[in-house]
């Protein structure tokens, strides 16, 4: 069976002489939850954007179920895969429900309106993201965390098989961070949604992801399950910090102790 998502030899640079990402290879299996970690500027968001076809690789290919994304119709991609980006448009004066309805667009024909079963999916997306009570509020009247959940609800209304998320917990307080991670865990386990997530919180990555890929300078430097990757040498070599690593019921937990001295 082809992987749900595959990147082969990706290269990308923002300027002609740059190569921000180079020789990037990745296979993501159906139903997997993969975390991409790495220092600032290591190319994580750039890779995620190429996986979602928001950026076109200058070399290499991205495939979904064995089909190259470059040749696919945008709506067909959007029916299968969606990405929650790091920042969303902040000035949209529409209600949460209207935003979530937009998630149905890839499933509607020209001029078809969201009705019947489409509205049922909208209700479901609002319910799983706990946004039902806020559905008639304008996006302008929401807190940062509520707004993030509204955009996630829109992604869910697309009923994707593959969900890409770029640091989705950045603006959330710790309770809402855990709530979001638990929600994604439910979607992953109960609906079998494949998740690829860029995360800065390495303890959360260890707790939730099945597999970790660590990037440095545009390429993968470590890959494996959290216990294989999150070791003392990893923190030293990839992040330049000294850390203590404990084992909490099979999950590695790290405590940063200081920056590595040259
Ligand atoms: N639009 C852009 N134009 C020029 N350079 C860019 C652009 N976007 C990103 N870069 C550069 O590309 C490199 C990789 O950026 P990217 O956002 O992919 O890294 P990242 O690992 O996601 O970083 P962070 O952890 O800080 O979010 C950085 O050096 C960044 O400055």
List the chain pLDDT tens, one digit each, 262 residues: 778 999 999 999 988 788 899 999 999 999 999 999 999 999 999 999 999 999 999 999 999 999 999 889 998 999 999 999 877 777 788 999 999 999 998 887 776 676 778 889 999 999 988 899 999 999 999 888 888 889 999 999 999 999 999 998 887 888 888 988 998 999 999 989 999 999 999 999 999 999 999 999 999 999 999 999 999 999 999 999 999 999 999 999 999 999 987 6
Contact 232, 253 (CB under 8 A): no
* pTM, to two decimals: 0.93
The best mutation among 21, 24, 45 to test binding of ligand 1, ranked by most ligand atoms within 8 Å of the C-beta, falls on: 45
* Ligand 1-lining residues (CB < 6 angstroms): 14, 20, 38, 40-46
Q: What is the pLDDT of residue 112?
A: 67
| ipTM score for this prediction | 0.97
Residue nearest to atom 11 of ligand 1 (CA): 41
Rg (CA), the chain: 19
Strands annotated E in 85-182: 162-166
- Residues 64 and 204: their CA atoms lie apart, in Å, by 27
Contact 69, 63 (CB under 8 A): yes
The best mutation among 10, 12, 17, 20 to test binding of ligand 1, ranked by most ligand atoms within 8 Å of the C-beta, falls on: 20
Whole-Å CA distances, 204 to 42, 87, 144, 209, 251: 19, 20, 20, 8, 10
Instruction: For residue 49, give the ligand 1 atom closest to its CA.
Output: 18
Contact 199, 211 (CB under 8 A): no
> Of 33, 60, 20, which is closest to residue 186 (Cα–Cα)?
33
Residue ranges of domains in the chain: 5-80+160-259, 90-159
Neighbour count for residue 236 (Cβ, 10 Å):
13
Q: Compute, in angstroms, the gap from residue 59 CA to the centroid of ligand 1.
A: 18
C-alpha dihedral sign at 116, 121, 124, 130: negative
Q: Compute, in angstroms, the gap from residue 122 CA to the centroid of ligand 1.
A: 34
Residue nearest to atom 1 of ligand 1 (CA): 14
Q: What is the pLDDT of residue 212?
A: 97
Instruction: For residue 15, give the ligand 1 atom closest to its CA.
Output: 4
The best mutation among 15, 43, 83 to test binding of ligand 1, ranked by most ligand atoms within 8 Å of the C-beta, falls on: 43
Instruction: For residue 167, give the ligand 1 atom closest to its CA.
Output: 27
Q: What is the pLDDT of residue 18?
A: 84
Interior angle at CA 123, CA 119 and CA 152, nearest 5 = 110
**75: number of CA atoms within 13 Å, CB side?**
8
- Residues 42 and 235: their CA atoms lie apart, in Å, by 15
CATH topology of domain 5-80+160-259: Rossmann fold (3.40.50)
- Residues 16 and 66: their CA atoms lie apart, in Å, by 30
- Residues 232 and 227: their CA atoms lie apart, in Å, by 11
Contact 214, 240 (CB under 8 A): no
């Amino acid at each position: 069976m082809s992987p749900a998502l595959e990147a082969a030899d990706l290269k990308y640079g923002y300027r002609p002489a740059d190569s921000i990402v180079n020789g990037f290879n990745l296979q993501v299996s159906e139903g997997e939850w993969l975390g991409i970690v790495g220092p600032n500027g290591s190319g994580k968001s750039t890779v995620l954007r190429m996986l979602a076809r928001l950026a076109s690789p200058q070399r290499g290919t991205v495939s979904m179920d064995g089909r190259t994304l470059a040749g696919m119709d945008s709506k067909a991609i959007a029916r299968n895969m969606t990405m929650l980006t790091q920042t969303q448009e902040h000035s949209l004066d529409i209600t949460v429900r209207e935003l979530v309805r937009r998630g149905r667009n890839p499933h509607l024909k020209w001029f078809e309106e969201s009705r019947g079963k489409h509205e049922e999916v909208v209700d479901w997306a609002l319910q799983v993201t706990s946004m039902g009570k806020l559905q008639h509020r304008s996006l302008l009247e929401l807190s940062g965390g509520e707004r993030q959940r509204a955009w996630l609800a829109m992604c869910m209304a697309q009923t994707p098989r593959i969900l890409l998320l770029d640091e989705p917990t950045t603006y959330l307080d710790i309770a809402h961070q855990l709530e979001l991670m638990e929600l994604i865990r439910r979607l992953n386990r109960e609906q079998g949604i494949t998740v690829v997530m860029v995360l800065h919180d390495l303890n959360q990555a260890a707790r939730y992801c099945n597999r970790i890929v660590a990037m440095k300078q545009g390429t993968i430097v470590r890959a494996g399950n959290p216990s294989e990757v999150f070791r003392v040498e990893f923190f030293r070599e990839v992040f330049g910090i000294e850390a203590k690593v404990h084992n909490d019921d099979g999950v590695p937990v790290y405590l940063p102790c200081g920056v590595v001295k040259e």
